Chain A
Amino acid sequence: MVDIPYDAIAGVPPAEVPDVELYHPRSWWTRYVFSQDAKVIAVQYALTASAIGLVALVLSWMMRLQLGFPGTFSFIDPNQYLQFITMHGMIMVIYLLTALFLGGFGNYLIPLMVGARDMVFPYVNMLSYWVYLLAVLVLASTFFVPGGPTGAGWTLYPPQAILSGTPGQDWGIILMMASLILFIIGFTMGGLNYVVTTLQARARGMTLMRLPLTVWGIFTATVMALLAFPALFVASVMMLFDRALGTSFFMPSLVEMGTLSKYGGGSPLLFQHLFWFFGHPEVYIVALPAFGIVSDLISTHARKNIFGYRMMVWAIVAIGALSFVVWAHHMYVSGMYPYFGFFFATTTLIIAIPTAIKVYNWVLTLWRGDIHLTVPMLFALAFIITFVNGGLTGLFLGNVVVDVPLSDTMFVVAHFHMVMGVAPILVVLGAIYHWYPKVTGRMLNDPLGKFHFWVTFLGAYMIFFPMHYLGLLGVPRRYYELGEAAFIPPSAHSLNAFISVVALTVGFAQMVFLFNLAWSLFKGKLAGGNPWRATTLEWQTPETPPGHGNWGKDLPVVYRWAYDYSVPGAKEDFIPQNQPPATPSARGALP
C-alpha cells in the first residue's frame, strides 16, 4: 500500500522561503570557536555535554563502589554520597541528555534534514551554546566551592535542600540554581531556533508530513521544553531567593538544628508541583527525540518504510501533549489531596496508548524487513526491548496503590534508569554510530562497536534488572549504607556487589567507545556520502562532511517522504527524498 499524499508524484511549489543570509567566517576563531554554523555548534554542544556526562559517569562508579562494598572505600563519606547522587542525576538528565539531544542532534540534524542552509538565527544559536557552556562551568565549579555541590537529591526538594545539615547548603545549592537558570536561558535561545527552523525554513516540497521522524521528535520535544522549562525557571528563582534572601516561598516554619528557623508560611508542595510540571515533560523531552531517531534507524537498517508514519507523528504529538497533565504521579506520597492521585493515575495510563502504538509500529517495521545487524541497528533493537521493559514498570508505578509501597525504593531507580536512562542513551549511542560518518567522513570501527554494544546492552540489563528485585524487597534508594535491616537478606548485599562490578565493566566499555571515536577520526574507513544508503536529505549533501551552507549552490527540492526503502520496481532499494520522479510529465510541472 502506497500512501498517496506523502508519495504523490507531483510538481513542487515555487520557492517562497529565501535563502538564509549566511555568516561567512573569516578566521579560525569564527570558524571553529565562535562559530555561527549549526554543525559546529552541534559538535560543541555534543562535546561539552559528553564531557560533563563523563563526570556524571564517574560519580555513578563512586556510588556503586559505596553501595557494592560498603565500608571499603574510606574516601566516600555519607555527605559525598548524597552529593554524588544529586550531581549524577542532575547532569545526566539536564546537562547531558537534554543538551545532547536538542543542542547536539537538533542543531546538526534539523537544518540538514529539512533542507535548510543553517538555523534561522545563527547568532542567537551561537549565544545559546556559550550560555550553556557557562551553565556547565557554574555547575562544575560547585565541586570546588566550600561545602561542595548540593546533596539534596536531583529533585532538590525543599525544605531539606536549603537547610543546614544537607551537604552543599552554603554554596552548592545557590550555584546549582544559578546554573539551572543559565541553562534555561541558553536553551530558550537554541530552542526558538529549532522550532522556527522546522516550521518556517523547510526546503521546497518538504511538507511537515514528509519530515523524517527524527525531526518530528526533536521538534516536539523542543516545543515541550519551551513550555516546561519556565516552571523550573520559576522554581529555581524562588528557591534561590529562599536560600539567598531568606524569603519563604517553599519553607514552612520548622526547627532547624534545635532552633526555630527564620522561615515560615511557605509551601514545600508548591515546589514539587512546579518541579514536576517541568520534570515529567522533561522525561519526554529526552524520550521523544529518541523515539524519532530510533524510527529512522530502524527504517534505514531494515530497508523498509516506517510502519504507520502518520500514526507515529500523531503519537509523538499526543505523548507530548499528555505529558503536561501527568506530573503529579511523581507526588503520590507527597501529601497532596488524595483524589488528585486518581486523576493523575488515569492520565498516566492513557499515555501508554500512543506509546504502545509506537512500539507496535517499530516492531511492524521490522516485520519481514531486510534487517542489517549493523551497530546502529543493534542499538535501536536494544532500545525497543529496554523501552518496553521500562515502560511496563511505569504502569506499575503509575498506579497509586502499587506506587505507594514502592516509593523511594530501588524499584523506582531501576524503572527510570531503564526507561529514561538506558533507553535514550542506547539511542544516543546508536545515533552516534549512524551519523558519525556524516559528521567526520569516516566510519566508526565495527568490531569495537559490536564489543561496545554487547557489553553496554547486556551490562545495563545486569545492572538494572536485579535492581527491580532489590526494590521489591524494600531496599530504599539514596541510602549511603543498608546496615543490618531485618527485611534485607544477605543475598541482597551480594547482589549489590554484583551490580557494582557490572557497572564498572560497562563504564570500561564506554572508554572503549571514546577510544573508537578518537581513533576512527583519523584511521577509520572512509565513509563516502551515504554509507547506509539512506533516503533522508542529510545523506545527499554534495560534500561529506557537509560544507558551509550545507548544500552547495542549489537548495535541495523534496519529492517524496523519507521512507522510500525497497520500493517495488525501483532500481535501488532506497530512493532519496530529493530524487525527482521518473515520469516526464511530472517533471515538466517543475519550475
Chain B
Amino acid sequence: MAETALTSTGEPSARVGGLQGIVADWSSDQRAFKNVSWGKAMMWIFLLSDTFIFSCFLLSYMTARMSTTVPWPNPSEVFALNLGGRHIPLILIAIMTFILISSSGTMAMAVNFGYRRDRVKTAALMLATAAFGATFVGMQAFEWTKLIMEGVRPWGNPWGAAQFGSSFFMITGFHGTHVTIGVIFLLAIARKVLRGDFDLERRGFFTSRKGYYEIVEITGLYWHFVDLVWVFIFALFYLW
C-alpha cells in the first residue's frame, strides 16, 4: 500500500535518540524528518515563513511606536468598554483572547478524535472551533466599527500618533484575515470529515489526491499558530 504511506506516520523504526538521532536522521536517505508526512512538513515550513511576516509587522509597529514624536494613545482606555455602567479596560480584548485560546482546546480535541476516526465528534469539534473563530472575527469587526465611529482612521485618530490607527488596522487586519482563512479551512475539512471522504478515500476536487485524517492535524497546526500569534499581538499591542 504505497499510497497510504503518503501521509501515514509509518512504522516507528528503532532509532537512536537524542542528538545522535538527529544526526542519523539527517544523514539518512529519502527523508530528513522521519515519520513526518509531506503535508505536515510543508505546514511547518510555511508557518516558519509566516512567523517572519508577523515578526516584521510587529517589529515595524514597535519601531513606529518608539520613534513617533506624538504621544501614543493609551490602549487601556481606547479599548475600554462601558458595561453595566462600569468602565472596564480591555474587556472586549480579554474576551476575544479567551475565545481564541478556547478554540485551540477544541481544535486539539478534534485532532484526537480524528485519529480515532470518530467522524461525528471530529466534525462537531471542528465546527465548534470554527464557531469560536467566527465569533472572534465578529468581535474584531465590532471593535473596528467602534474605533471607526470614534474617529480612528489609518491616517489619524483623535488621541495621538497617527501610526496607532495604521498599525492597529494593519496588524489586526492581517491576523483577522488569517483567522478567517482558518475558519474557511475548518469548515471545508469538517465537511469532508462528516461526509466520510477520508474513509471512502475520495479524491480531492482540485488535486485528485486522496485525503487522510492527518489533514485535521495540519489544519490544527495552522490554527494553533494563529492563536499563538494573537498572544504576541495581545501582549505587544494591547498590554504595552
Contacts and interface: CB of A to CB of B under 8 A. Distances in A.
A13 to B, nearest CB: 6
Contacts, number: 154
A199 B53 contact: no
Interface in B39-73: 41-42, 45-46, 48-50, 52-53, 55-57, 60, 63-64, 67-70
B68 A233 contact: no
B20 interface: no
A18 to B, nearest CB: 4
Contact of B36 (A123, A200, A247): A200
Given A208-B27, A247-B154, A267-B63, A227 B10 contact: no
Nearest to A264: B162
A202 B163 contact: no
B5 interface: yes
Nearest to A13: B29
Given A188-B49, A267-B63, A203 B30 contact: yes
A428 to B, nearest CB: 26
Given A123-B206, A192-B42, A249-B166, A270 B32 contact: no
B194 to A, nearest CB: 23
Given A265-B70, A265-B161, A200 B33 contact: yes
Interface extent on A, as a size class? 35 or more
B222 to A, nearest CB: 13
Nearest to A238: B60
Contacts of A202: 29-31
B52 A199 contact: no
B29 A204 contact: yes
Given A16-B31, A196-B45, A245-B155, A231 B3 contact: no
Interface string B1-37: 0111110001000000000000000111111111010
B163 A208 contact: no
Interface residues of B, number: 50
A251 to B, nearest CB: 10
Interface stretch (B99-107, B137-145, B207-215): B207-215
Interface string A229-272: 11101110110010001111100000000000010111100100
Contacts of B45: 192, 195-196, 226
A416 interface: no
Contact of B162 (A192, A199, A235, A248): A248
Contacts of A209: 27
Nearest to B66: A267
Given A227-B49, A233-B53, A15 B63 contact: no
A523 B2 CA distance: 42
Contacts of B68: 265
Contacts of A235: 56
Given A204-B30, A266-B64, A267-B63, A230 B41 contact: no
Contacts of B163: 247-249, 265-266
Nearest to B61: A249
Interface in A266-282: 266-267, 270, 274, 277
A274 B62 CA distance: 13
Contacts of A204: 29-30
A234 B60 contact: yes
A120 B207 CA distance: 11
Interface in B202-224: 206-210
B38 interface: yes
B94 interface: no
Contact of B155 (A191, A195, A247): A247
Nearest to A557: B29
Interface string B163-179: 10110001000100000
A200 B33 CA distance: 7
Interface of B: 2-6, 10, 26-34, 36, 38, 41-42, 45-46, 48-50, 52-53, 55-57, 60, 63-64, 67-70, 154-155, 161-163, 165-166, 170, 174, 206-210
14 contacts: A18-B5, A19-B3, A20-B6, A195-B45, A202-B31, A207-B27, A226-B52, A227-B49, A238-B60, A245-B155, A249-B163, A265-B64, A266-B163, A274-B56
Interface of A: 12-13, 15-21, 23, 120-123, 188, 191-193, 195-196, 199-210, 226-227, 229-231, 233-235, 237-238, 241, 245-249, 262, 264-267, 270, 274, 277, 558
Given A120-B38, A248-B162, A266-B163, 19 more contacts: A16-B30, A16-B31, A16-B34, A23-B208, A121-B38, A123-B206, A199-B31, A200-B33, A204-B29, A208-B26, A210-B29, A226-B49, A229-B49, A234-B53, A238-B60, A247-B154, A265-B68, A267-B64, A274-B56
CB-based closest 5 A-B pairs:
A230-B52, A247-B166, A234-B56, A246-B155, A18-B2
